[in-house]
Amino acid sequence: MHPTDLPKAAQDADYVIIGAGSAGCALAYRLTEAGRTVTLIEYGGSDIGPFIQMPGALSYPMNMSRYDWGFASQPEPHLGGRTLATPRGKVIGGSSSINGMVFVRGNPQDFQHWADSGAAGWDYAGVLPYFKRMETWHGGQSPLRGTDGPLHITRGKRKNPLFNTFIEAGQQSGWPRTDDYNGAQQEGFGPMEATIWKGRRWSAANAYLRPAKKTGLLTVVRGLANRILFQGKRAYGVEIERGGRTEAVHATREVIVSASSINTPKILMMSGIGPADHLRQHGITPLADRPGVGCNLQDHLEIYMQYKSLKPVTLYTYYNLLGKGRVGVEWLLQKTGLGASNQFESCGFIRSSDAKDYPDIQYHFLPLAVRYDGKSAAKGHGFQAHVGPMRSKSRGAIRLASGDPKAAPEIRFNYMSQPEDWVEFRACVRHTRRIFDQPAFAEYRGDEIQPGDAVQTDDQIDAFICEHAESAYHPCGSAMMGAVDDPMAVVDPELRVIGVEGLRVADSSIFPRITNGNLNGPSIMTGEKAADHILGRPMLREAI
């Protein structure tokens, strides 16, 4: 390793965190707030610029190699051998800088399941105080919501009539209305919440990292984390590559990996922590044989149900060079207008069948018929619902492709590998048609663009899903939290990596099971709660 020219503050920090993403930024803020020194390693560059900061431009950064790692799955056997894009943020703020800005905590049952799976203390009563601590909620007054946290949670103005039409149609279909799906009742249709504040993307970088920098206790180092350095079985630092040189970044107390559910297991395996035989195949000497590293990989799949609009009220009016230019100029000058919204302003959470005791289908409604990556819009006015099941039993794995730290890992989600997945997805299609067939949509609803009226039977719907289902970009679970005696657990309930010392993981890879909804909120909560574990503070709990 080369002699280092790292800043002195980065050579002897109390803590080294790998990854300036959702959990890493929150963790850095709470540790520096407590007076600890932190070195934060991030491979990606600056998040400054309109493509990231303008909510309405959300389809751009996840398709830019400057901001996205560019991962893709291996060919998925149950989806016709397709490879699915797996965007992860390669930028300050991580995926919170390139995501759709939708804020969902998850269902209380999610966290009870975590606790029942061996993650003691991570039940709803144990995580609710951290959800409250992290947020400033602008939706009114509620004992279940936070009022003075770093993360601003807002709601769109729902000026477009289609947003409220979708909520009304959901109620006409027989489901309840919910005024706060992050509060007392997740099930139902209502306004969607977003990490947007004063017209800007309120990423983990804006909410946490910039305040942390002001303490003078945080040093951000740009470099690629190759592996964790150990003395015996105790982590003492991180080997990074920077400017063609390898250097060591030391931690006097602990190293925390917050590098995403894709890169975290890769870094652990590169460091000798993982399935021993797999590590040896790539020339890596096992330090701790943990077969669960990289396993338990989960994600949400979704399809886009699209309809033509009989009235010219959709965003298609602005889906041209002139229209986009006008939206962009208004946002640049005033941080207002369509550019100040992610356009996900109404939503729904429903049960696929009466046999379910929780809502297991999620809707994002959008007043435009377009692909999520913005690459192709239906010609003419249209609208769509993104819909998919929340709790697939399918599990995949992350594996090393080689012993080269620069090589992307192999990602196999094993999507749709369980028969129940197909049953739930068919229910998604049929429930969605029922919603759009309600009287509320009568004046707007034209022909079904996708899947189309010809797609009716189970086999036809299955063929459509096989060809068109896309990731909702919620990968998690690949370094599972559980009881110390669980052979598949990677971290204990205090997020300490089992089998070594001085090393923790804090990001969505620790989730025992995927949560009901988008993952940015639970990922930030993980960083918040991790800070109290690391600092040895009494854990917050709330009587519910």
Q: Give the active site residues.
A: 474
pLDDT confidence tier of residue 285, bands split at 50, 70 and 90: very high
Task: Grade residue 9 by pLDDT with cuts at 50, 70 and 90.
Answer: low
pLDDT (tens digit per residue) in 79-118: 999 999 999 999 999 999 999 999 999 999 999 999 999 9
Q: What does the pLDDT average to over 344-360? A: 95
pLDDT, average across residues 315-336: 94
- State the average pLDDT for the chain: 96
Q: What is the pLDDT of residues 175-232, one digit of tens each?
A: 999 999 999 999 999 999 999 999 999 999 999 999 999 999 999 999 999 999 999 9
Mean pLDDT of 257-266: 98
pLDDT at 378: 77
Quote the tokens at residue 295: 């396993």
Query: What value does the mean pLDDT take over residues 435-457?
Result: 97
Residue 1 predicted with pLDDT over 70: no
pLDDT-above-90 percentage for the chain: 94
Helix axes 419-436, 458-468, angle to 10 degrees: 100
Q: Report yes or no: 422 and 428 within 8 Å, Cβ to Cβ.
A: no
Buried b (16+ CB within 10 A) or exposed e, 433-472: eebbebebbeebbeebbbbeeebeeeeebbebbbeebbbb
Tell me how many degrees the CA angle 499-500-504 measures, rounded to the nearest 5.
105
- Would you say 100 is a known binding-site residue? yes
Contact in structure between 384 and 306 (CB atoms under 8 Å): yes
At 6 the pLDDT is 76
Say whether 91 counts as a known binding-site residue. Answer: yes
Please indicate if the annotation marks 99 as binding a ligand: yes
In order of 150, 153, 267, 378, 434, the CA distances from 461 in angstroms are 44, 36, 39, 21, 15
37-59 core/surface letters (b: 16 or more CB in 10 A; e: else): bbbbbbbbeebeeebbbbbbbbb
| pLDDT tens by residue, 169-180 | 999 999 999 999
What does the pLDDT read at residue 2? Answer: 62
What pLDDT score does 509 carry?
98
Higher per-residue pLDDT: 378 or 190? 190
**Res 457 pLDDT > 70:** yes
Would the annotation count 238 as a binding residue? no
Percent of the chain surpassing pLDDT 70:
98
For residue 118, give both structure tokens: 């061996």
E strands, 374-414, are: 382-389, 397-399, 410-412
**CB 399, CB 412: distance < 8 Å:** yes
Nearest partner of 535 among 138, 19, 29, 39, judged by Cα: 29
Question: 182 versus 1: which is more confidently predicted?
Answer: 182
User: What domains are there in the chain, each with its CATH number?
Assistant: 13-153+200-297+395-404+475-537 (3.50.50.60), 157-191+300-393+417-468 (3.30.410.40)
pLDDT surpassing 90 at residue 270: yes
Q: How far apart are CA 135 and CA 126, in angstroms?
A: 16
Q: Is residue 98 a contact partner of residue 503, using CB atoms and an 8 Å limit? A: no
What is d(CA 41, CA 529) in angstroms, rounded to the nearest whole number? 20
The pLDDT-based confidence of 374 (bands split at 50, 70, 90) is: low
Using the predicted structure, report yes or no on whether residue 292 has a pLDDT greater than 80.
Answer: yes
Nearest to 479 by CA among 526, 531, 418, 420: 526
pLDDT in tens, 140-173: 999 999 999 999 999 999 999 999 999 999 999 9
Q: Is the dihedral of CA 326, 328, 330, 332 positive or negative?
A: negative
Does 373 have pLDDT greater than 70?
no
What H or E segment, with its residue span, contains residue 245?
strand 245-257
262 pLDDT above the threshold of 80: yes
Compute the average pLDDT of residues 423-432. 98
Are 303 and 425 within 8 A, CB to CB? Answer: yes
pLDDT at 375: 65
> What's the distance, CA 147 to chain centroid?
23
Sign of CA dihedral 64, 315, 520, 515: negative
pLDDT of residue 376: 63
Distance CA 22, CA 527 (A): 8
**pLDDT the model gives residue 544:** 80
Which whole number is the average pLDDT over 486-512?
98
- Asked if residue 423 belongs to a known ligand binding site, the reply is no
Q: Is the model's pLDDT at 8 over the cut of 90?
A: no
